[in-house]
Amino acid sequence: MAERPRRAAVNRRHFVAGSAAALTGVSLAGCATASPSRRVEDVGASVEPFYGRHQGGVATVPQAHAQFVGLDLVPPPGRNARDALGAVLRLWTSDAERLTQGRPALADTEPELAAQPARLTVTVGLGASAFDRAGLNHTRPATLSELPPFGTDELDPRWCGGDLLLQLCADDPVALAHAGRVMLKSVRSMTRQRWRQRGFRNAHGVGRPGGSMRNLMGQVDGTANLREDAEFERLVWDDGADQRWFAGGTVLVLRRIRAEMDTWDELSRDAKELVVGRRLDTGAPLTGQKETDAPDFGAQVGGIPVIAPNSHIALAHPRSDGERFLRRPYNYDDPPAAGATTDSGLLFATYQRNPATQFVPVQERLAAADGLNPWITTIGSASFAILPGVQPGQTLGEALLA
Amino acid sequence: MAERPRRAAVNRRHFVAGSAAALTGVSLAGCATASPSRRVEDVGASVEPFYGRHQGGVATVPQAHAQFVGLDLVPPPGRNARDALGAVLRLWTSDAERLTQGRPALADTEPELAAQPARLTVTVGLGASAFDRAGLNHTRPATLSELPPFGTDELDPRWCGGDLLLQLCADDPVALAHAGRVMLKSVRSMTRQRWRQRGFRNAHGVGRPGGSMRNLMGQVDGTANLREDAEFERLVWDDGADQRWFAGGTVLVLRRIRAEMDTWDELSRDAKELVVGRRLDTGAPLTGQKETDAPDFGAQVGGIPVIAPNSHIALAHPRSDGERFLRRPYNYDDPPAAGATTDSGLLFATYQRNPATQFVPVQERLAAADGLNPWITTIGSASFAILPGVQPGQTLGEALLA
């Protein structure tokens, strides 16, 4: 099984155009054209590349399921924590290079569950506390710093912080569960789980691949996102100017944003659209016809702005190119506490070169005035330096720990 | 959107054979033959029928995701509880006939999330306590009784019982979350949630549709299952001989079975295969070559049975046709408690005419001697009378409450 030929990797740029033919290698003239929404694919056998300048799970077309796990290093600070960090990264590199390609991990006790990776990606990051604990503060990227407090945050420590991040994404929940089991088991003597957050988007074959998604509040989410290589180079990937070892990495900000569904559902559709600045049906800005139309923040009717200045899109809209970042959100919907009807919201995962200049100014505007604030509450926050990718024979973080 | 033509419903018997052509209505000669594992489909637009003699979600080819919710009626016993039960069933009928067909519920505040049902099914059941509370004991099917205690059970009340069951299944997690939100919100004044259990199988397009699945212990699960119409008539659907209103219904037994993954993973593959009686790779019985081969419980090598008498399949194997029932299990994998590595196992959902004669004898054998017992623990148990299906204009349970 380990040696059978794999289909070509699905990547961000080639997915939308001609995916069916690329994936199957057979002529589909007259078949794939029946409807653009019908695809021919073996979802389980699809793989994402593991080796490269960057880790997977960032520029990758978002998979249907995600699991974010925050862990702390158990050994005492200093040499011991640093050794443990090195051991964790060696184990995870080994696990990830196999599992993402549909091969069992080295000590995989359920190897059959590894055979259908369904575009599994593994993305490993280090929190600021890991650098501190491992005596590596001099190598910490300056871009990895704590976010300032925002006035609307109601942070619960159980969704915050962490020395290590393990982000797993896949189109199949079984593949995801198996990878999580293997990779958390292999490091259990050296780490302690701090939190675990599960999220989902539409299943593969539902909705538009690689496009925006609908969140559980019913809004089209993630319309104005980074797509071009040049944007990723400029705004997402670190260039190593500060810390050479970090070239090709990025910084993840993961915010857990609770939706206040009961009060949101009391709003009329008109009110919801005014609060957001987009139509609920098409996702088009209130000044446009379709989702991809650029919002016209200057448009007025009778002297009143069509898109309210405190609407979500008006405030979230970047004031400059340097305020843009990659959003890769997932919905969450967990069993509610006793008496509550719903515990759902967004795992708002953003990737950027420098949160302080890209993420923070936008979030400060939103915290100050976003019309949506009464219906969303940020209850968790964590930032991680996502390690650069590796080539065969290399270990994640090897340049950091060398 | 509500009026656009829908693709033909996917049903149990027609799914495996020729699903691609049936679903798209275009000729696929030369395309679908490239590989049997490649399908052409719009997963989101696929619908399961709502109207019929039976509710969906039982004979339906298992969808990728499931949510089982146990609820209690809030009003005091008697007339008030009975009125509430009637109101809940009217609301849920209305919600289900719309949502399963890709149309928003009547008071749907996120109607766009209803457009991609992805084979959503809604399955409603009543626990024995609901009949008691609503003053309907004289109409309770005799087949709906509490299970006897089993020696290996470690039941936690938080996964047991319930007046009402709402079972939702879909191939898309967003469709499932939306249906859950709508249907639980619409009854919130009359009900209190007792438990909520989420489960998953392989995503649509991964593995074999309608076939057995692998559980998170790595075993092929559900090989010897009911498949033929005549088996469903004989063993699953109630014939109304006891309670006429219940004709076309069935009884669900939902057991939450925790897998003791840490100790299971310490077993060798040979030991695991002996404990189960099947090979891990192919799912074939130890006396056979492929999954569908009938186990030969008499086969011996050197006087020793090849399939151990206390192996899981030897004890689970029905001693008569009357011990067979439909299994429709889902994996669960929840965030573990502090210090634990994993909280996973099986939502073992079985559907049968009479648990006392079909389910209980098998479970008693397993509880007494199953070699797998050290690695599985039943921590939850609940039984529900799954209401008969409805025709247009009818309400679920209407014959019961008339």
DSSP string, B26-52: S--TTTGGG-TT-EEE-TTT------S
pLDDT band at A210; cut points 50, 70, 90: low
What pLDDT shows up at residue B264? 96
Q: State the smallest CA–CA distance between residue A321 and chain B in angstroms.
A: 32
Domain end position, chosen among B200, B230, B247: B200
User: For A206, which of B44, B202, B216 is closest by C-beta distance?
Assistant: B44
Nearest CA in chain B to A338: B193
Q: How confident is the model at residue B146 (pLDDT cuts 50, 70, 90)?
A: confident
**Is B1 buried (19+), middle (13-18) or exposed (0-12) by CB count in 10 A?**
exposed
Chain A environment of B38 (Cβ under 8 Å): 24, 40-42
Burial class (CB in 10 A: 0-12, 13-18, 19+), B132: middle
Whether B258 and B359 map to the same domain: the answer is: yes
- Confidence band of B210 (pLDDT split at 50, 70, 90): low
CB contact under 8 A, A200 and B41: no
**Strand blocks (E) in A171-292:** 191-200, 213-214, 220-221, 250-259
Distance CA B270, CA A220 (A): 51
| Residue B145 to residue B127: CA distance in whole angstroms | 9
pLDDT value for B209: 63
CB contacts of B261 in chain A (<8 Å) are 181
Q: Is A171 a catalytic residue?
A: no
> Would you give the distance in Å from CA A347 to the centre of its chain?
8
How far is the alpha carbon of B171 from chain A, nearest alpha carbon, in Å?
A: 7
User: Burial of B322 by CB count in 10 Å (0-12 exposed, 13-18 middle, 19+ buried)?
Assistant: middle
pLDDT digits (tens, 9 = 90+) for B84-108: 999 999 999 999 999 999 999 998 9
H/E element, B380: strand B376-386
Minimal CA–CA distance to B350: which of B337, B336, B339, B361?
B361
Residue A30's pLDDT band, with cuts at 50, 70 and 90, is very low
Which CA distances in Å does B233 have to A11, B226, B316, B322, B348? 48, 11, 22, 12, 21
Q: How far is B33 from chain A (nearest CA, A)?
A: 10
For the segment A251-257, the average pLDDT, to the nearest whole number, is 98
In a shared domain, residues A214 and A338 = yes
Inter-chain CB proximity A174 and B201 less than 8 Å:
yes
Number of domains in chain A: 2
Q: Tell if the CB–CB gap between B110 and A217 is shorter than 8 Å.
A: yes
Q: Worst-scoring range by mean pLDDT, A359-363, A390-394, B72-76, B340-344?
A: B340-344
Nearest-CB residue to B203 (from A173, A333, A344): A173
pLDDT for B51 beyond 90: yes
Rounded to a whole number of angstroms, the distance from the CA of A50 to the nearest CA of chain B is: 21
pLDDT at B12 over 50: no
Does residue B3 form part of some domain?
A: no
Residues 6+ apart with CB under 8 A from A37: B42, B45
What is the model's pLDDT at position B15?
35
CA distances in angstroms from A197 to A325, B335, B382, listed in the order given: 22, 8, 28
Chain A partners of B34 at a C-beta cutoff of 8 Å? 24, 26
Rounded mean pLDDT, A184-209: 93
DSSP output for A184-219: HHTTTTTEEEEEEEEEE-PPTTSS-TTS-EE-TTS-
B28 to chain A, minimum CA–CA distance in Å? 7
Q: Which of A314-328, A340-354, B32-46 has the lowest mean pLDDT?
A: B32-46
Nearest Cα neighbor of B37 from A116, A8, A63, A2 is A116
Domain-located, residue B287: yes
pLDDT of amino acid A209: 63
Burial track A143-152 (b if 16+ CB lie within 10 A, e otherwise): bbeebeebee
Q: Provide, rounded to the nearest whole percent, the portion of chain A with pLDDT above 90.
A: 84
Range A149-156 average pLDDT: 96
Inter-chain contact B193–A336, Cβ cutoff 8 Å?
Answer: yes
Q: B106-125: per-residue pLDDT in tens?
A: 989 999 999 999 999 999 99
Identify whether residues A172 and A58 lie together within a single domain.
Answer: yes
- Work out the minimum CA distance from A309 to partner chain B, whole angstroms: 24
What are the start-end ranges of the E strands in B154-190?
164-170
Do residue B354 and residue B247 come from a single domain?
A: yes
Interface touch B31/A26, C-beta < 8 Å: yes
- A71 touches B335 (CB < 8 A): no
Mean pLDDT value of segment A229-249:
97
Q: Name the residue of chain A whose CA is nearest to B172's CA.
A: A203
**Residue pair B182/B73 in contact by the 8 Å Cβ criterion:** no
For residue A342, give the nearest of B37, B113, B181 by CB distance: B181
Tell me the mean pLDDT in the region A2-12: 36
* CB A66 within 8 Å of CB A198: yes
Q: What is the pLDDT of residues B294-318, one digit of tens each?
A: 999 999 999 999 999 999 999 999 9
The answer on A262 and A189 residing in a single domain is no
The answer on A319 and A243 residing in a single domain is yes
Cβ-in-10-Å burial (0-12, 13-18, 19+) of A298 comes to exposed
Q: Which of B118, B178, B262 sits opposite A206 (nearest CB)?
A: B118
Residues of A in contact with B47 (CB under 8 A): none
**Residues A122, A55: one domain?**
yes
Interface test with B, best of A28, A33, A109 (most B CBs within 10 A): A109
Nearest to A206 among B116, B180, B192 (CB): B116
Kindly identify which residue of chain B lies nearest to residue A345, measuring between CA atoms.
B177
Mean per-residue pLDDT of chain B: 90
Per residue in B260-300, pLDDT (tens digit) is: 999 999 999 999 999 999 999 999 999 999 999 999 999 99
Is B376:B259 a contact under the CB 8 Å cutoff? Answer: yes
Question: Which residues from chain B sit within 8 angstroms of residue A109, using beta carbons?
Answer: 218, 264-265
Mean pLDDT confidence for B22-50: 55
| Closest approach of A389 to chain B, Cα-based (Å) | 27
Structural domain includes residue B1 = no
- Residue among A218, A141, A154, A96 at smallest CA distance from A381: A154
Q: What is the pLDDT of residue A221?
A: 85
Q: Which residue from A minimizes the CA distance to B265?
A: A109
Q: Is residue B105 part of a domain?
A: yes
User: Which site among B174, B190, B261 would you substitute to test the A interface, given the most A Cβ atoms closer than 10 Å to its Cβ?
Assistant: B174
Residues of chain B with pLDDT > 90: what percent?
A: 84
Asked if A183 and A215 sit in the same domain, the reply is: no
Per-residue confidence (pLDDT) for residue B222, from 0 to 100: 79
Whether A270 is in a domain gets the answer yes
Give contacts of A177 with chain B, Cβ < 8 Å: 200, 216, 331, 333, 344
Judge if A58 and A88 occupy the same domain: yes
What pLDDT, on the 0 to 100 scale, is given for residue A2?
35
Catalytic option among A163, A171, A221, A238: A221
Let me know whether A223 and A181 are in one domain.
no
Test mutation, A172, A182, A331, chain B, max B CBs within 10 A = A172
Please return the burial class of B383, using the count of CB atoms within 10 Å of its CB with bins 0-12, 13-18 and 19+.
buried
Q: What one-character DSSP code corresponds to residue B285?
A: B
Q: State pLDDT tens for residues A328-338.
A: 999 999 999 88
Put simply, the answer to whether A31 touches B40 (Cβ < 8 Å) is yes
The structure tokens listed for B103 are 């149309």
The reply to whether B352 and B214 lie within a common domain is yes
Q: What is the pLDDT of residue B25?
A: 31
Confidence at residue A146, expressed as pLDDT on a 0 to 100 scale:
87
Nearest to A177 among B113, B206, B216 (CB): B216
Inter-chain residue contact A44 with B171, CB threshold 8 Å: no
**Residue A180 resides in a domain:** yes
Residue of A1, A23, A40 to mutate when probing chain B, most B C-beta within 10 A: A40
CA distances B203 to A43, A143, A161, B64, B329, Å, are 8, 38, 32, 5, 14
What's the pLDDT band for B22 if we cut at 50, 70, 90?
A: very low
Domain that holds residue B119: 47-127+162-200
Catalytic residue among B108, B163, B171, B221: B221
Asked if the structure places residue B324 within a domain, the reply is yes
What confidence tier does B213 reach under pLDDT thresholds 50, 70, 90?
confident
As for the ipTM of the complex, it is 0.90
Over residues A350-368, mean pLDDT: 98
Gap between the Cα atoms of B289 and B267, Å rounded? 23
Q: Which of A38, A41, A72, A270 is the best substitution to test chain B (most B C-beta atoms within 10 A)?
A: A38
Chain B residue numbers touching A188 (CB-CB < 8 A): 341
Q: Do A265 and B185 touch (CB under 8 A)?
A: yes
DSSP A86: H
Asked which of A206-210, B22-26, B65-69, B93-97 is least confident by mean pLDDT, the reply is B22-26
Which H helix or E strand runs over A130? helix A128-133
Least confident of A78-87, B160-169, B217-226, B326-335: B217-226
Q: Looking at the domain assignment, is residue A142 inside a domain? A: no
Q: How far apart are CA A60 and CA A68, in angstroms?
A: 16
Q: How far apart are CA A67 and CA A195, in angstroms?
A: 10
For residue B252, is pLDDT > 80? yes
Q: Give the number of other CB atoms < 10 A from CB of residue B139.
A: 16
Both A85 and A17 in one domain: the answer is no
Percent of chain A with pLDDT over 70: 89
Can you give the pLDDT at residue A213? 86
- Residue A211, pLDDT score: 67
Report chain A's C-alpha Rg in angstroms: 21
B376: left (phi > 0), else alpha (psi -120 to 50), else beta?
Answer: beta
Nearest residue in chain B measured CA to CA from A184: B341
CB contact under 8 A, A112 and B344: no
CATH (domain of A55) = 3.30.70
